[in-house]
Structure 1
Amino acid sequence: MDLDRMKKWLDFAKEFQHGQFWDSVFDKDYTEKAMEQFTQSSAPKPLNNSRFPLADIFKSNHEFIIVLDLPGTRKEDIEISIADYSLNVRGVVNPRYSGMGKVQTERFSGEFERTITFPELVGGTNISAKFDNGIIEIRIPRSHRSKEKIIIE
């Protein structure tokens, strides 16, 4: 456990000693906020703080295939880029009925960004992306390098 987390834990424990803990333990907002201190990761998060869009990643001897679910998007609202070991997908999902009051909403709308990291260097030529009915299929050839002999000078 690092020092910052240890300090947060000690501060949390002090609240317990002074009786404030039990006064607020059943307050959902307080409990969630307190627990976030110990579960937060230093890894970058997508703009919407979730795993959107959902992705399936497949690999063969020749290529990676990435399938992303992007319901409610247009291909004009999506940007895909690739560099070194990662694929970045960003865009916007516009709300379907933006002028109406919401009773219940479970579908995501707004800006998103998702970075997918590969176990090996990716990129090069012949990368393709196909958009069909809210699903993007991206094909990235795997770069196989033959074993190279290194000459010692």
Structure 2
Amino acid sequence: MAERMPVRRGEGREWAGRPDMWQEPFRELEEIWDRMGQLFDPGWATTRPGVAWQPMVDVEETENAYVFEVDLPGVRREDIAVEVRGHELWITGELKDKEHTGVLRRKMRRTGSFSFRGTLPGEVDADKIEANLADGVLSVKVPKAEVSKSRRIEIK
């Protein structure tokens, strides 16, 4: 069951005039923002250690291939695995947290294990899959098999 937000009760103007209520005026707004994120962002739990997260992905179908573009800023190429399992493309890996020398006051950037599974809509040529990582975007080109490519038939 969802946790309820704390409520402050007061007597109208008396409550609003209390100076101790607004020592940190933005703290309460940050708490509300975090709670709203939990409600509306399906990946809200991904900032917690040990919880896998799913990267943002665009999937495009061209005449000859399916192209997956995966946002993975800060992830090194050796920390990513791309596999085809049956009719699914699996992209897994880990974004390692950097060591902090100071006190970490707020953590919003995602770290830890991530995974993406996408269904391939048709037959593919798994031997010719290409993956490239540039500027924080992993591009995976999955060529269609000859049988699944569409072709125009001339009517006689």
Question: Normalization by structure 2: what TM-score?
Answer: 0.58
In the alignment, structure 1 residue 137 sits paired with structure 2 residue 142? no
* Equivalence map 1:96-107=2 (5 Å): 96-107=98-109
> Residue 87 of structure 2 aligns with which residue?
85
| Pair 1:82–1:115, CA change in 2 (3 A) | same
Matched AA of 2:123:
L
- How many residue pairs are counted as aligned between the two chains? 107
For 2:115 and 2:3, how far apart are their aligned partners in 1? 34
Alpha-carbon deviation of 1:88? 0.6
> Residue 72 of structure 1 aligns with which residue?
74
Matched AA of 2:57:
A
Q: Is the 8 A contact 1:56 1:68 kept in 2?
A: yes
Instruction: Summarize deviations over 1:46-72 as a string: whole Å, max 9, x none.
Output: x8454x211000001210010001011
Matched AA of 1:119:
P
For 2:113 and 2:52, how far apart are their aligned partners in 1? 11
Q: Is the 8 A contact 2:52 2:113 kept in 1?
A: no
Cα-Cα RMSD? 2.9
For 2:109 and 2:3, how far apart are their aligned partners in 1? 29
* Equivalence map 1:4-153=2 (5 Å): 27-28=4-5, 48=51, 50=53, 52-145=54-147
Matched AA of 1:122:
V
For 1:48 and 1:123, how far apart are their aligned partners in 2? 33
Alpha-carbon deviation of 1:127? 0.8
Instruction: Summarize deviations over 1:5-50 as a string: whole Å, max 9, x none.
Output: xxxxxxx9xxxxxxxxxxxx97349xx9xxxxxxxxxxxxxx8454
Give the secondary structure class of the aligned counterpart of 2:127.
coil
For 2:121 and 2:102, how far apart are their aligned partners in 1? 45
Matched AA of 2:58:
D
For 1:48 and 1:56, how far apart are their aligned partners in 2? 23
More off after superposition, 113-122 vs 76-85 = 113-122
**Structure 1 portions without partners, runs of 5+:** 1-11, 13-24, 33-46, 147-153
For 2:59 and 2:76, how far apart are their aligned partners in 1? 22
Matched AA of 1:103:
R
Give the secondary structure class of the aligned counterpart of 2:89.
strand
